[in-house]
Structure 1
Amino acid sequence: MPRLAMPTSRDRRPAPPTPAREIARIAVPVSMEFVLMLVLNFVNQIVVGSLGATAIAAVGFSNSLTFILAVTLGCLGTSVSILVARAHGAGRRDDLDHTVTAALLVALGLGAVVSVVPWFFADHLMSLVGASPSVAAAGTDYFRLTVLATLPVMLSAILSGVLRSAGRPTSPMIATMVTVVANSAIAYSLVVGLGPLPSLGVAGAGWATLVTAVAKALILLWMTYGRRGVVGWSLPDSVRQWRAVIVPLFVLALPLGVTELFWTVGTFLYNVVFQKLGDEALAAAQIVTTLEGVFIVGSIGLMSATTTLVGRSVGRGDVDDAMAWVRRLTRAGIGTAAAFGVLFAGSVLLLDALFGEAGRDVRMMAGVGILINAAFQVVKVRNMIVGAGVLPSADDVRGVIMGDVVGAFAIGLPLAVVLGLHTPLGYVGIFVARILEELTKLAIFTWRARRVRWDVLVAKAAGSRAPSTPSAPTASEMPTQPVTTSS
């Protein structure tokens, strides 16, 4: 009887990853990094909370202003990451170097303008946009310092996107871990005046933010351009090369920036309405927002997984696979949102220990806000996956803008003014208005997602490819873990 040959290790092939493992491979690193950043904000809020409710309100109001700049301009990092992924996958090293160099120079110019101009008018800007005299007085120095941090934050967003798309997804997380620890230590030391250091109060947290933002940008620059870096410094050689780099950069960035601008401005205007009810209501809203952020970013990696996995299927021309990934990721979002929503609701039990100096009324208002928002965590996560993942993957940026504009400016904010300022509901009415905004966005995003013609999208993607040029792989097709969002 002939002897059967046994398979050798060379003949064995690793089994393809399961869909769940494929999702986790992309989503977990992104979520971990964002959790670290939100924990940093939470620790800073606890440190500042020892100074009282007005200090919490001042920091929160200032952050909501700088948040508009940071998130809107951060879309440049997302744009760069897409272009770098294409150039890296196609082996076009010159294009990669030109894209990153040009993007950093553009960011330096934009960052200088958006940092320095608000710095000069900080004394009047906070009062002009709705801060009470006490909040403006406490938060002006902090705002000056954090708005200067916008420039290094922009650079970090770009460099993080470059490293992820070039196959180094853990590098930004390492830089974030280092600066989170440093920020917390510096903030505590300067706020309370530890040892020989001066007690700077709220401004101490601002100095910590600025110092660690610069440090993170420098670390990422070394990771990107150092001896083991992934790109080289190379300027485009001609006007034609500059145009070939700059035009795609802004074509991708502008629609993303518009959607982020609407969202962040809407968030800021809610803070203005809370401020109308007083410093304590604003402080409570900031506690709710910060705590919710810590838990909701546990699902944010699914947004990156959506754009990556659905985009890969579209690029392969597999309609059924694209639709299957949408269903899988939506189910995963419901599961993670339910789990983190329960944890978020349980954080009510920690308010007395964490914010004892804020006052009983602030803690009570924050507790009510936490319970209302935790009950609808699933809705918010679904909006994040569909609105920031599925619709952009389907080239439906118009649907994203429609949901953000109608939800916030036609439903949420008008109801916040009516319910919060002109009914006995007060602060509860504002929290309810924000939930109604999310439900409106859910209806619009779901409607737009059902109208997506995946077959048409796949045919369009296939038709746009040059016959002699293979399609460039997305970030998800890199040999290492892909991450498509920027920090």
Structure 2
Amino acid sequence: MPRPALSAFRAARTVPPTPAREIARIAVPVSMEFVLMLVLNFVNQIVVGGLGATAIAAVGFSNSLTFILAVTLGCLGTSVSILVARAHGAGRRDALDHTVTAALLVALVLGAVVSVVPWFFADHLMGLVGASPSVAAAGTDYFRLTVLATLPVMLSAILSGVLRSAGRPTSPMIATMVTVVANSMIAYSLVVGLGPLPSLGVAGAGWATLVTAVAKALILLAMTFRRGGVVGWSLPDTALQWRAVVVPLFVLALPLGVTELFWTVGTFLYNVVFQQLGDAALAAAQIVTTLEGVFVVGSIGLMSATTTLVGRSVGRGDVADATAWVRRLTRAGIGTAAVFGVLFAASVLLLDVLFGEAGRDVRVMAGVGILINAAFQVVKVRNMIVGAGVLPSANDVRGVIIGDVVGAFVVGLPLAVLLGLHTPLGYVGIFVARIVEELAKLAIFSWRARRIRWESLVTQRSDVAAAA
């Protein structure tokens, strides 16, 4: 290559990326990763759907229980990703290594406890929390296996957050691609009994989930700690270093865990209300939730981009840059939500093909739920970006808790019981109640976001760094 052309090529490579490209570099791989994960759940639901509406309801009800554990404990991943982004932005490799190492040790202990204890009580737990006898009988073995996957899922959440915040957002996507393909193959083989393999029914999907969750955690560990990787295994040496790492970790993680607990319990209680209308209504709700997830996570990468880009700006002490990223990401969320909302609504046309064995009543109820939720996709995505990205990045986890508690337990669930069980609206009333919940959360999250004082946060970060 001639010298002038070579110089121009090198100069082009050193030009900082535009804000849109920087957002896309983080958000697109994350969104693709989560889309793959939910496509995996969707494929499993189709495979299990061949066993009938009760099997769909059993898998959905079991997943809503394990979802509480996985998402609540996954708050460590969010907390670590914010702290790693700040350390990465400030160029503090020692703080990065100490934070990740301490978080993984905490996750090992917590994950072991919350995986084993529910396993012992699986026989009675589903019935105690509201599942019908038929749903409990079909889903107990599946629940046992998926609850054991909580530990590797926790580790994967932490390691994925670390890799994204440290500038390697495609690595978790690669690990997910490998395990999604493996999961689909294993699930189909064990559910239907392909070749010499036994036909395990619903439990076959549980075995596939457990095996691939362990495999993904091992792949991410190798990506994170390999030679020349983004992190080195390093425990803090002094009590002061331990305090500088553990206190910020739990200051973020504990409130985030509380808000995730409220959110997931609220989601589970909606399933309990649907169950009161019968197995068909519960099955329809699970179809809507799974399909909606596939399209909502098309925008979820913007949430990770928020914690990463805003966190780096806070770590550098650049208030103007942090607020600029918030504006850009919020606008991007509106655009992606509108597109994916239309695609979500169009998925109604596929219900007869994908869930022919579930029954016409189930498909009709699912179609109504899809159309209602698709109309408010923009609201849900904005809540995701502000409530799970902007507010935690500004250390305003209290605002997230207020929004989730008021939205679900003061507004949404009481309205769902009233409209769903005491009016002719039935299942339509429950879907409407969930939309009203999202509107209440939108009002609260927007109010809290306007109260953020980024200057105070940057000053606080500087004081903590100096003390460390």
TM-score bracket, normalised by the shorter chain, equals: over 0.9
Question: Do the aligned residues in 1 keep the contact of 2:287 with 2:366 (CA within 8 Å)?
Answer: yes
Q: Distance between the aligned counterparts of 1:432 and 1:33, measured in 2?
A: 30
1:465 matched to 2:462: yes
Question: Do the aligned residues in 2 keep the contact of 1:31 with 1:300 (CA within 8 Å)?
Answer: yes
Q: Mark the runs of 5 or more structure 1 residues left unpaired by the alignment.
A: 473-487
Question: Do the aligned residues in 1 keep the contact of 2:55 with 2:202 (CA within 8 Å)?
Answer: yes
Q: Distance between the aligned counterparts of 1:406 and 1:297, measured in 2?
A: 24
Q: In structure 2, what residue type is equivalent to 1:461?
A: V
Question: What is the aligned partner in structure 2 of residue 277 from structure 1?
Answer: 277
Q: Distance between the aligned counterparts of 2:448 and 2:415, measured in 1?
A: 24
Question: What is the aligned partner in structure 1 of residue 79 from structure 2?
Answer: 79
Task: Quote how far apart the aligned CAs of 1:227 are.
Answer: 3.9
* SS of 1:251 mapped into structure 2: helix
Name the TM-score, length of structure 2 as normaliser.
0.92
Q: Distance between the aligned counterparts of 1:80 and 1:73, measured in 2?
A: 12
Deviations 1:366-417 (A, max 9, x none): 0000000001111111111222222223332222111111110001000100
Structure 1 residues 393, 152: CA separation in 2 closer, same or farther (over 3 Å shift)?
Answer: closer
Q: Distance between the aligned counterparts of 2:123 and 2:106, measured in 1?
A: 28
* SS of 1:299 mapped into structure 2: coil
Question: Do the aligned residues in 1 keep the contact of 2:27 with 2:302 (CA within 8 Å)?
Answer: yes
1:156 matched to 2:164: no
Question: Do the aligned residues in 1 keep the contact of 2:90 with 2:312 (CA within 8 Å)?
Answer: no
Name the TM-score, length of structure 1 as normaliser.
0.89
Task: Quote how far apart the aligned CAs of 1:336 are.
Answer: 0.9
* SS of 2:435 mapped into structure 1: helix
1:127 matched to 2:127: yes
Task: Quote how far apart the aligned CAs of 1:151 are.
Answer: 0.8
Q: Distance between the aligned counterparts of 2:246 and 2:214, measured in 1?
A: 25
Question: What is the aligned partner in structure 2 of residue 417 from structure 1?
Answer: 417
More helix per residue: 1 or 2? 2
Q: Distance between the aligned counterparts of 2:103 and 2:461, measured in 1?
A: 25
Question: Do the aligned residues in 2 keep the contact of 1:127 with 1:133 (CA within 8 Å)?
Answer: yes
Question: What is the aligned partner in structure 2 of residue 289 from structure 1?
Answer: 289
Number of matched pairs? 464
Task: Quote how far apart the aligned CAs of 1:293 are.
Answer: 0.3
1:350 matched to 2:357: no
- Equivalences for 1:123-202 in 2 at 5 Å? 123-202=123-202
Structure 1 residues 153, 463: CA separation in 2 closer, same or farther (over 3 Å shift)?
Answer: closer
Q: Distance between the aligned counterparts of 2:269 and 2:36, measured in 1?
A: 26
Structure 1 residues 7, 217: CA separation in 2 closer, same or farther (over 3 Å shift)?
Answer: closer
Larger Rg: 1
Moved more, 191-200 or 229-238: 229-238
1:9 matched to 2:11: no
Higher normalized contact order (CA 8 Å, seq sep 6+, divided by chain length) = 1
Moved more, 307-316 or 339-348: 307-316
Question: Do the aligned residues in 1 keep the contact of 2:83 with 2:311 (CA within 8 Å)?
Answer: no
Question: What is the aligned partner in structure 2 of residue 482 from structure 1?
Answer: none
Question: What is the aligned partner in structure 2 of residue 231 from structure 1?
Answer: 231
Q: In structure 2, what residue type is equivalent to 1:214?
A: V
Structure 1 residues 227, 20: CA separation in 2 closer, same or farther (over 3 Å shift)?
Answer: closer
Task: Quote how far apart the aligned CAs of 1:469 are.
Answer: 5.6
Task: Quote how far apart the aligned CAs of 1:131 are.
Answer: 0.4
* SS of 1:131 mapped into structure 2: coil
Moved more, 398-407 or 132-141: 398-407
Structure 1 residues 83, 399: CA separation in 2 closer, same or farther (over 3 Å shift)?
Answer: closer
Task: Quote how far apart the aligned CAs of 1:171 are.
Answer: 1.5
Moved more, 426-435 or 244-253: 244-253
Task: Quote how far apart the aligned CAs of 1:334 are.
Answer: 1.4
Question: Do the aligned residues in 2 keep the contact of 1:420 with 1:430 (CA within 8 Å)?
Answer: yes
Q: In structure 2, what residue type is equivalent to 1:458?
A: E
Task: Quote how far apart the aligned CAs of 1:315 are.
Answer: 5.0
* Identity between Structure 1 and Structure 2 (%): 88
Task: Quote how far apart the aligned CAs of 1:466 are.
Answer: 4.7
Moved more, 376-385 or 387-396: 387-396
Q: In structure 1, what residue type is equivalent to 2:69?
A: L
Question: Do the aligned residues in 1 keep the contact of 2:330 with 2:382 (CA within 8 Å)?
Answer: yes
Question: Do the aligned residues in 2 keep the contact of 1:315 with 1:458 (CA within 8 Å)?
Answer: no
Q: Distance between the aligned counterparts of 2:21 and 2:86, measured in 1?
A: 24
Question: Do the aligned residues in 1 keep the contact of 2:88 with 2:312 (CA within 8 Å)?
Answer: no
Question: Do the aligned residues in 2 keep the contact of 1:315 with 1:462 (CA within 8 Å)?
Answer: no
Question: What is the aligned partner in structure 2 of residue 46 from structure 1?
Answer: 46
Question: Do the aligned residues in 2 keep the contact of 1:317 with 1:459 (CA within 8 Å)?
Answer: no
* SS of 1:433 mapped into structure 2: helix
- Equivalences for 1:36-435 in 2 at 5 Å? 36-88=36-88, 92-237=92-237, 239=239, 241-314=241-314, 319-435=319-435
Q: Distance between the aligned counterparts of 1:107 and 1:358, measured in 2?
A: 39
Structure 1 residues 307, 80: CA separation in 2 closer, same or farther (over 3 Å shift)?
Answer: closer
Q: In structure 2, what residue type is equivalent to 1:426?
A: G
Question: Do the aligned residues in 1 keep the contact of 2:90 with 2:316 (CA within 8 Å)?
Answer: no
Q: Mark the runs of 5 or more structure 2 residues left unpaired by the alignment.
A: none
Deviations 1:48-98 (A, max 9, x none): 000000000000000000001001101112222333444455555554444
Task: Quote how far apart the aligned CAs of 1:316 are.
Answer: 5.2
